[in-house]
Chain A
Amino acid sequence: MAEKISQETVVKVSRLARLSLTSDEAEKMTSQLAGMLEHFRDIDALDLADVEPMTQPYPLKNVLRKDVEAPSLDRQEVLGQAPATESGRFRVPPTIGFDV
């Protein structure tokens, strides 16, 4: 299994998760995650080469509904719960021209 998690990795992961952790939070998180990942090493001893991964408990495949019209959510009711809207749409801050 992988090497011990570093604070640098924690900061990188926090960017992927869209969380702006403070440096105190990042430090605490690094030691807590390291503790958990250490505990999780118990499965390293298992031989899993021939084991099929299990992604869902009840095997259902390609569940589709009939292509019949049905009412959808009320547009005004949905937009009424958004932090910012304009002309019947969700309004967001500028999306281009900034570092990602």
Chain B
Amino acid sequence: MQKLVEIASGVSNGSLSASAVVEQHLARIDVRESEIHAFNLVTADQARLDAAKVDADVKSGKKVGALAGVPIAVKDNMCTRGVETTCSSKILQGWKPPYDATVVTKLRAAGAIIIGKTNLDEFAMGSSTENSAFGPTKNPHDISRVPGGSSGGSAAAVAAGFAAASLGSDTGGSIRQPAALCGVVGVKPTYGVVSRYGLVAFASSLDQIGPFTCDVRDAATLLEVISGHDPLDSTSIPQPAPSLVSVLEHGVAGMRIGRVTDLPEGCEADVLERLESAFDALRNAGATIVDIKLPSIQYCLTAYYLIAPAEASSNLARYDGVRYGNRVDAADLNSMYAATREAGFGEEVKRRIMLGTYALSAGYYDAYYGKALKVRRLISDDFARAYQSVDTILTPTSPSVAFEFGSKTDNPLAMYLCDVFTIPTNLAGHPAMSVPFGTGAHSMPVGVQVLAPTLGEQAMFKVAAELERAS
């Protein structure tokens, strides 16, 4: 697979044509997309026009951006002006946003070619893409297995070579878990590093956009482009994002890597074995492995599955059949709201709206939502204590390799357990990334997760680069 940095440098110096690069990727899409279903929409015509423009700019000696000619797929919950954005939900089917998300603006300014909008669990609620209203995405390594979720389409698009990179969003693991299951790199940056303007909101205090790529250098390059303060997002951190590509060769000598001794149970043996090899590799490269405890993360599922649905129930109130999206007509306003939402939302979205509305309703607020916010604090405090003695922490990304379709759909709690290692990061607002590190059961990819404290992206990328060299 062609690397993002190779395409960008080749196109910039004229040795590669952006149009030819785009045609190669469209050709791969032609061959395999019908069985993978990574995309809700392939924007082939616009991609060809954009590529021709990049080639013309290079020819005429104009300066082109850091992602010149790089085909990038964008999760279908990020707004693209005039281009259908559905969140894989019937309620938004056909909606063409009147503006671009900040990340889309930044991609275009850097010369990237947006090649399509990728499939997801409806409104990013799920861990397998089985909750998409438009059918699931298949794992390119084994089409009887899920690609993970919710950004399953973005992970599969990179793994199948449909795009050199893609963007996803991560609320409880929705970038890292599919990256692990599809054998690609996936990064969830510190909350506030990448603008959420134009990202359709799921749980606003947890959502964060990040890249999927074939390797760590590509991820660092793409993250540098999309990060930075944005006045259009009031939660955007008002300081420049750290340089990442510059630290990739620094190594890990002298770094302290945390090993969590009270990790939640239920992890596959092969996955734990890969994690141990990762610790060995870092030790051999000069890092010190330090045992740490995170006693409160055993409560992360409870905190997350109260906080995220509570925020979602509020955010999804906007789908009321009035300003955008689809409407089911009825005699009066309240009946129209209810009929529209009943027809437009899928089962998992309704389940989370119900759970969130319940957790926020009078008489239950203190018992559920209020308590969950306090548990969130405990988890954050656990990390703060741990990071006094370590620079980064290593855990599995997902407790298992990619599972078969239908194996968890009847039991919401079993599906929620897929996120047990990724959720604590979102609750704390920290960065974390998944790096491919060999294979496990059924020869499917295994990912190792590198966690770091707020704005600790440089330390995280140093460790990720070392793991990649060792894998």
Chains A and B belong together in one complex? yes
A→B interface (CB under 8 Å): 1-2, 5, 9-10, 13-21, 25, 29, 32-33, 35-37, 39-40, 42-43, 46, 48, 51-58, 60, 63, 65, 73-74, 77-78, 81-84, 90, 92-95, 97-100
Complex Cα spacing A60 to B390, Å:
26
Residue pair B338, A33 in contact (C-beta under 8 Å): no
How far, in Å, is A45 (CB) from chain B's closest CB?
9
> B378 — which chain A residues lie within 8 A by C-beta?
46, 48, 51
Residue pair B357, A82 in contact (C-beta under 8 Å): no
Complex Cα spacing A2 to B454, Å:
36
Q: B314-344: which residues lie under 8 A (CB-CB) from chain A?
A: 317, 320-327, 329-339, 341-342
> B427 — which chain A residues lie within 8 A by C-beta?
54, 57
Whether a CB of chain A sits under 8 angstroms from the CB of B368 is yes
> B164 — which chain A residues lie within 8 A by C-beta?
none
Q: Name, among A33, A36, A82, A98, the residue most crowded by chain B CB atoms within 10 Å (CB to CB).
A: A36
Stretch with Cβ within 8 A of A (4 or more), from B231-239, B245-253, B461-469: B231-239
Complex Cα spacing A56 to B237, Å:
13
Stretch with Cβ within 8 A of A (4 or more), from B14-22, B95-103, B209-217: B95-103
Whether a CB of chain A sits under 8 angstroms from the CB of B108 is no
Residue pair B454, A17 in contact (C-beta under 8 Å): no
Q: With A19-B338, A33-B354, A94-B331 known to touch, is A83 a contact of B322 (CB < 8 Å)?
A: yes
Residue pair B374, A42 in contact (C-beta under 8 Å): no
Complex Cα spacing A13 to B341, Å:
14
Q: Choose one: B238, B323, B333, B372; the contact of A93 (CB below 8 Å).
A: B333
> B355 — which chain A residues lie within 8 A by C-beta?
33, 36
Residue pair A81, B324 in contact (C-beta under 8 Å): yes
Residue pair B231, A2 in contact (C-beta under 8 Å): no
- B321, closest chain A residue (CB): A83
> A52 — which chain B residues lie within 8 A by C-beta?
374, 377
> A19 — which chain B residues lie within 8 A by C-beta?
338, 341-342, 345, 350, 353-354
Residue pair B301, A94 in contact (C-beta under 8 Å): no
How far, in Å, is B419 (CB) from chain A's closest CB?
14
Residue pair B235, A56 in contact (C-beta under 8 Å): yes
Contact sample, A vs B, 7 pairs, CB 8 Å cutoff: A19-B350, A21-B350, A36-B355, A36-B412, A56-B235, A63-B234, A83-B325
> B371 — which chain A residues lie within 8 A by C-beta?
43, 46, 48
Residue pair A93, B354 in contact (C-beta under 8 Å): no
Complex Cα spacing A2 to B327, Å:
36
Whether a CB of chain A sits under 8 angstroms from the CB of B109 is no
Q: B364-383: which residues lie under 8 A (CB-CB) from chain A?
A: 364, 367-368, 370-378, 380
Map CB proximity to A onto B397-428 as digits: 1 under 8 Å, 0 otherwise. Answer: 00000000000000011000000000000011
Residue pair A57, B205 in contact (C-beta under 8 Å): yes
How far, in Å, is B377 (CB) from chain A's closest CB?
4
How far, in Å, is B432 (CB) from chain A's closest CB?
13
Q: Choose one: A36, A54, A58; the contact of B192 (CB below 8 Å).
A: A58
Q: Choose one: A1, A14, A25, A54; the contact of B380 (CB below 8 Å).
A: A54
Complex Cα spacing A98 to B337, Å:
13
> B96 — which chain A residues lie within 8 A by C-beta?
81
Residue pair B329, A54 in contact (C-beta under 8 Å): no
Residue pair A95, B338 in contact (C-beta under 8 Å): no
- The 3 A-B pairs with the shortest beta carbon distances in the complex, nearest first, are A57-B429, A53-B373, A83-B327
Q: With A42-B299, A57-B205 known to touch, is A74 a contact of B98 (CB < 8 Å)?
A: yes
Residue pair A81, B98 in contact (C-beta under 8 Å): yes
Complex Cα spacing A5 to B358, Å:
10
Residue pair A93, B302 in contact (C-beta under 8 Å): no
Residue pair A58, B330 in contact (C-beta under 8 Å): no
Residue pair A98, B332 in contact (C-beta under 8 Å): yes
> B450 — which chain A residues lie within 8 A by C-beta?
none
Q: Choose one: A17, A36, A43, A94; the contact of B313 (CB below 8 Å).
A: A17
Q: Choose one: A15, A16, A36, A83; the contact of B305 (CB below 8 Å).
A: A36
How far, in Å, is B100 (CB) from chain A's closest CB?
11
- A9, closest chain B residue (CB): B358
Complex Cα spacing A36 to B359, Å:
12
- A26, closest chain B residue (CB): B354
Residue pair B302, A48 in contact (C-beta under 8 Å): no
How far, in Å, is A79 (CB) from chain B's closest CB?
9
> A94 — which chain B residues lie within 8 A by C-beta?
331-333
Whether a CB of chain A sits under 8 angstroms from the CB of B306 is yes
Q: Choose one: B99, B299, B333; the contact of A46 (CB below 8 Å).
A: B299
Whether a CB of chain A sits under 8 angstroms from the CB of B191 is yes
Residue pair B301, A1 in contact (C-beta under 8 Å): no
Complex Cα spacing A78 to B321, Å:
14
Residue pair A10, B354 in contact (C-beta under 8 Å): yes
Whether a CB of chain A sits under 8 angstroms from the CB of B28 is no
> B339 — which chain A residues lie within 8 A by C-beta?
20
Complex Cα spacing A32 to B324, Å:
31
How far, in Å, is B227 (CB) from chain A's closest CB?
14
